Amino acid sequence: MRVDTHDFVREYTLLECIQCGRCTGACPVSMKTALNIRGIIYEALIEDSIEVSGLDVLWDCTNCLTCTTRCPKDIQPAEVIIGLRGYIVEEGRGVPPRVRDALMSAFTRGNTLGFPTEGREQWAEELDFEVKNVLDEGETDLLFYVGCTPAYDPRIQPVTRALARVFQRAGLDFGTMGIDEMCCGNEIKRIGESEGFESMVEEYHEMLQEFQAKRMVAASPHCYNTFKNEYGEMPFPVQHYSQLLVELLDQGKLAYGKEVRKKVTYHDPCFLGKHNNVYDEPRHILRSIPGIEFEDLDRSRERSVCCEGGGGRMWAEGTNIEERLAHQRVQDAVGMGAEVLAVACPFCLLTLEDAVKIVELEDRIQVLDIMELVAEAI
């Protein structure tokens, strides 16, 4: 499939590009694959059309936003990738099978994982209290948006329960949308299904009018980013859970009773850090836990390296099958003597934990969500 470049260049303001190469030079994935966003933009500028059907490297992009943060002309290279993916999705050919399955599941089951809608509340079954359904009650102070992976994935469900227990202990009035909660659409948008994403946004805005809430807290940075930055005007503020936990610590509503004697480092999730500039809150929480010896990775905060879990990469193998950036990230953590590599994102947790197994370092380091460390200390 060939894409006419004239409208495409105007839509993404590519005439502003000075071909400095900072986007490709900064791209962490370009170190492992043939993805060259500068080259793609150059071809769009000099050719009347470009072929995208066989451009498999488009699925290597994780949408980590490193290219965008480095661009001196404020071009959005990551959006260029999403736009080109959109042509492939629209044509229906060349879409990786698991990406196609995730899209279908999102629209038919309300989640990207292929699970039945009725199971969306199973994560809460082990709690010793009932979580309020805000659609039944009509109002709540805190809307807890769980998200697909935190609701369904057995590895992430304990993190979700730990969050609910902290909310309960802090005396917060909180609830969820129960089985009516749907995928926020973040990965759908990143995959390139723009029309489907807009339909999700419209449907959610209608649902959010059915109850009153003072704010929303998301378990995943991907969901947080989507509601905060992609949904237009929301009826209430949106936070990531790390931001709320810092508030609870400052208010004395989150207290610890045990020490966690471990050396811990932290991996910055791209959709929390680069997309939303949330760097301090996760570190504040880790440093607040008694017994933890915290040290940052060499490449952290704005310089952090993507684990390759976002931007649709949970379902697309990409062209760098043998070695992922997550492998190096885990080895860096082990090299500095860390016993725990902490994260604040379900995709990062799953990706980095898989990397630990692949590089055979299970006896050297654990990958844990910040909430798991908090739960251990309570």
Return the pLDDT at 54. Answer: 75
Return the pLDDT at 149. Answer: 96
Return the pLDDT at 254. Answer: 95
Q: Which letter does DSSP use for residue 128 in this model?
A: S
Residue 312 has pLDDT above 80, yes or no: no
With bands split at pLDDT 50, 70 and 90, how would you rate the model's confidence at 98? confident
With bands split at pLDDT 50, 70 and 90, how would you rate the model's confidence at 314? low
Higher pLDDT, 236 or 99: 236
Within this chain, do residues 206 and 326 fall inside the same structural domain, yes or no? no
Within this chain, do residues 79 and 90 fall inside the same structural domain, yes or no? yes
Rg of the chain over all Cα atoms, to the nearest angstrom: 21
Q: How much is the mean pLDDT over the chain? A: 93
Rounded Cα gap, residues 55 and 260, in angstroms: 48
Dihedral sign for Cα atoms in the order 19, 20, 23, 27: positive
Residues 208-260 have pLDDT tens digits of 999 999 999 999 999 999 999 999 999 999 999 999 999 999 999 999 999 99
Residue 311 has pLDDT above 80, yes or no: no
Rounded Cα gap, residues 370 and 205, in angstroms: 31
Task: Identify the domain boundary among 64, 95, 126.
Answer: 95
Residue 93 has pLDDT above 80, yes or no: no
Return the pLDDT at 289. Answer: 98
Residues 256-294 have pLDDT tens digits of 999 999 999 999 999 999 999 999 999 999 999 999 999
Within this chain, do residues 26 and 38 fall inside the same structural domain, yes or no? yes
How many domains in the chain? 3
For range 304-323, the mean pLDDT = 75
State the CATH number of the domain containing residue 64.
1.10.1060.10
Task: Identify the domain boundary among 95, 126, 143.
Answer: 95
Residues 107-118 have pLDDT tens digits of 999 998 999 999
Return the pLDDT at 50. Answer: 85
Within this chain, do residues 120 and 211 fall inside the same structural domain, yes or no? yes
Share of the chain above pLDDT 70, in %: 97
Within this chain, do residues 102 and 243 fall inside the same structural domain, yes or no? yes
Return the pLDDT at 318. Answer: 66
Rounded Cα gap, residues 147 and 186, in angstroms: 10
Return the pLDDT at 1. Answer: 74
Return the pLDDT at 321. Answer: 61
Residue 82 has pLDDT above 80, yes or no: yes
Residue type at 294? Answer: F
3-class state of residue 239 by DSSP = strand
Residue 323 has pLDDT above 90, yes or no: no
Within this chain, do residues 224 and 259 fall inside the same structural domain, yes or no? no
Within this chain, do residues 70 and 125 fall inside the same structural domain, yes or no? no
Within this chain, do residues 104 and 183 fall inside the same structural domain, yes or no? yes
Return the pLDDT at 320. Answer: 64
Rounded Cα gap, residues 189 and 357, in angstroms: 30
Going by C-alpha positions, the residue among 308, 306, 330, 350 that lies closest to residue 157 is 350
Task: Identify the domain boundary among 95, 116, 135.
Answer: 95
Within this chain, do residues 239 and 277 fall inside the same structural domain, yes or no? no
Q: Domain range holding 28?
A: 2-95
Residue 322 has pLDDT above 80, yes or no: no
Return the pLDDT at 148. Answer: 96
For range 203-208, the mean pLDDT = 93
3-class state of residue 99 by DSSP = helix
State the CATH number of the domain containing residue 178.
3.40.50
State the CATH number of the domain containing residue 312.
3.40.50.10700
With bands split at pLDDT 50, 70 and 90, how would you rate the model's confidence at 343? very high
144: left (phi over 0), alpha (psi -120 to 50) or beta: beta
Rounded Cα gap, residues 285 and 33, in angstroms: 35
